[in-house]
Amino acid sequence: MQNRRTLLALTLAALPLIAPAQEVWITKNTAAKFSVDLTELRASAGGGALFVQTLQNDLVRSGWFNIARPATFTVRGTAAAGAGMSAACELFDNSRNRALLNKAYNGTAAETRRLAHQAADDIVFAATGKKGMNGARLLLAGRMGGGKEIFLCDADGGNLRQITHDNSISLAPQWAPNGELFVYTSFRRNNFQEINLVDLRSNQRTVIAAYPGIDMTGGISPDGGSMLMTLSKDGNPDIYVQGLRGGAPIRLTKSIHAGQASPCWSPDGNAIAYVSDHSGQPQLYLMSRGGGGGKLLTSRGSQNVAPDWGSEGIAYCSRRGGRYVVCVINPATREDRQISPGDCDYEDPNWAPDGRHIFCTRTSGYRPTICMLDTMGDPPLALPLGSGDWTSPACTR
């Protein structure tokens, strides 16, 4: 059972039967790709080869490049591992006969992949003017045996490591903007929910909320000062806001006959998207940061849940044609488009920092894993996480 479905079961009133299948439509805007030649990037064995291979994989994953000769761009330089890792990369524009990037990357041998991710993002920006996403990190809820814990990995699925050891159920991780703090919901306290704040620098954990009933994490504000949460301590599940370091929660929604869940901030921090079953089925709503509004946003699909608001719109999960699919909606015009294919269920969407890609949970044959969707038309890419059940990706931005 997916985390978002569990969240709905915990926070929303009983759902009506699924509506008849609706028309599914997919709009693709496949971007033209640039050719890039890496044969002039010389690498030593071991760490140097790992740097070049990681860089090549990242450039392809970015969606902007094909590896080919002759090419529009050539990457020149060296990558060698000795006492540490040292690489020098020049991005040369063959069509304009000039260098667009010339940069050195130095670190420890253990930082080889991180340095390659950084170089890939620098090349993407130099060639396209677009922000990259390869240097981002993902939080995941993962089950490898017994309980479900929070894990951390690179954007390509590498460097996977376990963060929590609650021996229980851990859900819904959310990053703070600094990429060093995150919050999540845990059932470690005698199977009761609590919201925890984790500092990755010190491994310190602080309990933020542990009220009777439902305590579920929501998004952290863009300024890093406060967080949204779903609490049922005053009756129905409602949306609250609270200081990230503590303080009394402030109730933003007050509904007697409906449940609210899954709140997230707009990129400027002035608005909040959330889920409510006020209309009889889960739909997305918008309100101001102070709690005013409650404007219905979605209407297509029998269930619209799990919003994540990025620079290019609100990504969300919608039940259409008997499947859960990932869609993106423009909150100003209410125009939406389906991003994921209809081959299986796609849930838990979360924007990558490039504003082009979306990480999500893909479930096929009752086994959930993490994949990356491309809003410009490239096919989904599965992250090589190995065995286990993986859900709820949350990406640094």
pLDDT tens, 127-148?
Answer: 999 999 999 999 999 998 778 9
What is the homologous superfamily of the domain 136-395 according to CATH?
Answer: TolB, C-terminal domain (2.120.10.30)
Q: Is the pLDDT of residue 117 over 90?
A: yes
Q: Which of 226, 225, 146, 220 is nearest to 187 (CA)?
A: 146
Q: Is the pLDDT of residue 204 over 90?
A: yes
- Is the distance from CB of 7 to CB of 351 less than 8 angstroms? no
Q: What is the pLDDT of residue 245?
A: 85
Portion of the chain with pLDDT greater than 90, in percent: 83
Q: Which of 340, 359, 301 is nearest to 19 (CA)?
A: 301
pLDDT digits (tens, 9 = 90+) for 33-80: 999 999 999 999 889 999 999 999 999 999 999 999 999 999 999 999
Q: Residue 235, class by beta-carbon neighbours within 10 Å (0-12 exposed, 13-18 middle, 19+ buried)?
A: exposed
Q: Is the pLDDT of residue 1 over 70?
A: no
Q: What is the pLDDT of residue 144?
A: 84
Q: Which of 390, 387, 352, 344 is nearest to 373 (CA)?
A: 352
The residue assigned the tokens 């010190």 is: 202
- Is the distance from CB of 41 to CB of 52 less than 8 angstroms? yes
- Is the distance from CB of 295 to CB of 334 less than 8 angstroms? no
The three-point CA angle 160-164-170 to 5° equals 105
- Segment holding 103, helix H or strand E: strand 98-107
Mean pLDDT of the chain: 91
Give domain limits for the chain. Answer: 34-128, 136-395
pLDDT digits (tens, 9 = 90+) for 206-228: 999 999 999 999 999 999 999 99
Which architecture characterizes domain 34-128 according to CATH?
3-Layer(aba) Sandwich (3.40)
Q: What is the pLDDT of residue 257?
A: 82
Q: What is the pLDDT of residue 128?
A: 97
pLDDT digits (tens, 9 = 90+) for 351-395: 999 999 999 999 999 999 999 999 999 999 999 998 899 999 999
Residue 230 in tokens: 């779903």
Q: What is the pLDDT of residue 30?
A: 52
Buried b (16+ CB within 10 A) or exposed e, 348-373: bbbbbbbbbbbbbbbbeeeebbbbbb
Q: Which of 368, 375, 386 is nearest to 153 (CA)?
A: 386
Q: What is the pLDDT of residue 138?
A: 98
Q: What is the pLDDT of residue 11?
A: 45
Q: Is the pLDDT of residue 171 over 60?
A: yes
Considering just the CA atoms, what is the radius of gyration of the chain in Å? 22
Q: What is the pLDDT of residue 293?
A: 76
